[in-house]
Amino acid sequence: MGGIYALERISMESDKDYWPIMEILTVYVRKNSSAEIVESKRITPLAMDIQANESTTRKVSEVRKVSLDIQAVLTVIRRRNDPINAGKPIRLNLRKTYLRETDLYEANLKGADLEGVDLTGANLEGADLEGAHLEGADFEGAHLEGANLQGANLRGANFTGAHLEGANLKGVDFTEIDFTDYTIIKEANFEGAHLEGANLTEACLCEANLTKAHFEGANLQGANLRGANFTGAYLCEANLRGAYLDRVPDLFLEGANLKGVHLKGANLKGAYFEGANIKEANFEGAHLEGADFTEVDFVEDYTDSSLFPGVHNKHNLTTDQLSKVKSLYGATNLNPELETPLREKHPEIFKETTEHKSYRENVLQSR
C-alpha cells in the first residue's frame, strides 16, 4: 500500500502527473475489484450427495469486504482535489466495480463513471456525485446523507433501504428506481426530479423539496410525506394509498404543500391530508376512499356556476369522490354545490373522528 500513497504524494506535487495517476489507480480497482470477478468467487461448492453418488453445488452469497489496497486507492480518490493546472478533467472510470461497504465519505466523484457499481452499504455521506453516471448501480443500505447527486444519471439504480437525508437530487432522473424497504430521504431536494414509475413504498420523504418533481405512475403506497413540498409536482396515476400527507405533529410545522399538484387519477385511498395546502391541486378522477381532509381549506374550489356556466370547481372534485372520504371535519370553503348534497346524504363525514379528537386532546395536554 506504500506505493499507492506514494502515487498520491506525486499527484499532489505534480500537476502534469495528476490525471495519469488517477487513471492508474482506477484501472487497478477495475482489475482487482471487478463486480463480475467478485461475484464468481462468492459462489462456492459446499456439499456432496454421497448416497446418491451425485455432486451437488449450493450457491451461497457472502458479504465480502474489499481488500485493504482497494480501500487505500478509494481513500486517495476520496480526498483528492483536482488541481487547476492539471489540464482537461478526465472522467474517473470505476464502472462495474465491487465497492461494498467502502468508505467514500465526502468523496470527489463529480462526473465519474460508476455504471453498474456495487455500493451496497457504502458510506457516501457528503459525497459529490454531480453529473455522475450511476446507471444500474446498487446503493442498497448505502449512506448518502448530504450527498450531491444533482444531474446524475441513476436509471435502473437500486436504493432499497438507502439513507438520502438532506441529499441534493435536483433534476435527477429516477425513472423506475426502487426505493423500497424504508428508504429514508428526509429533507432531500428533489426539485424537478424525474421519478416516473419509481417504487417509493413506505419511503420516508418527510420535509423533502419535491417542487415540480415528476411522480407519474410512481408507487408511494404507505410513504411518509409529512411536511413535504409538492408545489407543482406531477402525480398523475401515482399510487398514494395510505400515504401520510398530514402535518408533522408539531405545533410549529405546517402540513404538506400540495399547491398546484397534479393528482389526476391518483390512488389516494386512506391518505391523510389534514391541514395540507391543496391550493390549485387537481383531483380529477382521483381515488379518495377513506382519505382524511380534516381542516383542509378548499378556498379555490369555489366557483359560482351561475356567473361562469360550464366552469367546474378548480379542484375537479365530485360529490361521488367526496362521499367516500373518511372526514371533512373542519374543512373550509368547500364548493356549496358539493357541500350541500354531501351534508344531506353523508353528514357523518363532517363530524370529528375519534382519531382526530384523541390527537387534539393529546396536543392540548402537551402544552
C-alpha to C-alpha distances, 94 to 26, 27, 134, 216, 270, nearest whole angstrom: 6, 8, 10, 32, 44
Which pLDDT tens digit goes with each residue over 243-271? Answer: 776 543 322 223 566 777 777 887 788 88
Q: Flag whether 80 is in a domain.
A: no
DSSP three-state, residue 286: coil
Q: Flag whether 228 is in a domain.
A: yes
Which pLDDT tens digit goes with each residue over 141-177? Answer: 999 999 999 989 888 889 888 998 899 988 887 776 7
Q: Flag whether 108 is in a domain.
A: no
Q: Flag whether 326 is in a domain.
A: yes
Q: What is the model's pLDDT at position 49? A: 42
Q: Flag whether 288 is in a domain.
A: yes
pTM of the model: 0.67
pLDDT above 80 for 133: yes
What mean pLDDT comes out for the span 92-106?
A: 97
Answer yes or no: are the C-beta atoms of 216 and 235 closer than 8 Å. yes
Q: What is the model's pLDDT at position 72? A: 96
Buried b (16+ CB within 10 A) or exposed e, 39-66: eeeeeeeeeeeeeeeeeeeeeeeeeeeb
Q: What percent of the chain has pLDDT over 70?
A: 81
pLDDT above 60 for 309: no
Residues 243 and 257: their CA atoms lie apart, in Å, by 14
User: CB neighbours of 366 closer than 8 A, spacing ≥ 6?
Assistant: none
The larger pLDDT score, comparing residue 260 to residue 15, is at 15
Q: Flag whether 156 is in a domain.
A: no
Q: What is the model's pLDDT at position 47? A: 38
Look at the chain and report how many structural domains it folds into: 1
Domain interval for residue 273: 169-301+313-366
CA 228, 193, 156, 36: dihedral to nearest 10 degrees?
A: -100
pLDDT above 50 for 198: yes
Q: Flag whether 194 is in a domain.
A: yes
Among residues 20, 134, 140, 143, the alpha carbon closest in space to that of 83 is found at: 20
Q: Flag whether 53 is in a domain.
A: no
Backbone angles phi, psi at 48, to 5 degrees: -125, 130
What mean pLDDT comes out for the span 47-64?
A: 41
DSSP three-state, residue 47: strand
- Mean pLDDT taken over the chain: 81
Q: What is the model's pLDDT at position 257? A: 67
